[in-house]
Structure 1
Amino acid sequence: MTDAIRPLPLFKYHPRPLETGAFETGKTVKCDCCQQATPLYYSGPFYSVENINAFCPWCIASGAAAQKFNGVFQDDASLEGVDYAFNEKGEAQGTTGAITLEQVAELVERTPGYLGWQQEHWLAHCDDFCAFVGYVGWKEIKDRLSEFADLESDCADSGLQTEDLEKVLFNNGSCQGYLFQCLHCAKYRLHIDFD
């Protein structure tokens, strides 16, 4: 079966990876994990000691890429709502919050990341990670303000006030917005980053 007709895997926390640009097209490359040629490939953030060029979506979804290269697609220190509980050997045995190790594994080992100006940060809501919707500025969110869980708090986390957004938040600008949506209540969250 060729990748051209092979269905794209479903990513719970990044449901529209083609729209967000998580996967590139335009040339055929070899996946560093399965060594198969693929016209659809990921070259975004991957934290590993290995130098990786590209992964196919299927090696990401199965967890094979993270396992083979002992790496992750999201730095687990940049996950909202996660504090680990450790056993006497220093191994994570669970989390102290409502987010489970299974949810963490799904996000960091089997979900393509996104590109941020500084450190990517994954938001959570309703005791689970949110889905990454895409890159936004004021223009993209101004008609959705009532659909946010707590936009004022999201802004405050970046040192801004909600009324500042119209003047500073531009998609592909120096002040970039990253839109997330809760998988349970459908409310939006906003992470803001500066170049």
Structure 2
Amino acid sequence: MSDPAELPIFKYYPDPVAGGSVEASDAACAGCKRRRGFISPSLLYAEKVPDDARFCPWCIADGSATALLAAPSTNSLRERRMTRATR
């Protein structure tokens, strides 16, 4: 298992383990297929996402989880709303 100190940095969420967004697990990531010792218990809702898909914090942090499945992230949705609002 990876050390929590080795988790990727989330600028707006400094401790995702304590907050419950990332938990210790031996489950394989649906994105990279690796077992890195941590997984997000949260679901990613999109048309192409299997119901039981879970992603590691590294795939979430680098955007590959959303890019792999062509699912919009909350950041991209917020950016589109901001762009429309400032036109």
The TM-score with structure 2 as length reference comes to 0.73
How far apart are 1:47 and its partner, in Å? 2.3
Answer yes or no: is the 8 Å Cα contact 1:23–1:41 preserved in 2: yes
Q: CA RMSD in A?
A: 2.7
The structure where strand makes up a greater share of residues is 1
Match of 1:96 in 2: 85
The answer (yes or no) to whether the contact 1:55–1:65 under 8 Å persists in 2 is: yes
Aligned positions, number: 83
In structure 1, stretches of 5+ residues that fail to align are: 86-93, 98-195
Find the counterpart in structure 2 of residue 47 from structure 1.
45
Q: Any unmatched runs of 5+ in structure 2?
A: none
8 Å Cα contact 2:21/2:42 also seen in 1: yes
Helix, strand or coil for the counterpart of 1:67? helix
Distance in 2 (alpha carbons) for counterparts of 1:69 and 1:34: 12
CA contact (8 A) 1:40 1:57 kept: yes
Q: Say whether 1:16 aligns with 2:15.
A: yes
Instruction: Report the CA distance shift for 1:64/1:33 in structure 2 as closer, same or farther (over 3 A).
Output: same
Paired position in structure 2 for 1:60: 60
Runs of 4+ in 1 over 3 A off after TM superposition: 72-76, 82-85
Shift of 1:56: 0.9
TM-score normalised to structure 1 length: 0.36
Give how far 1:59 is off.
0.7
Change (3 A) 1:12 1:74: same
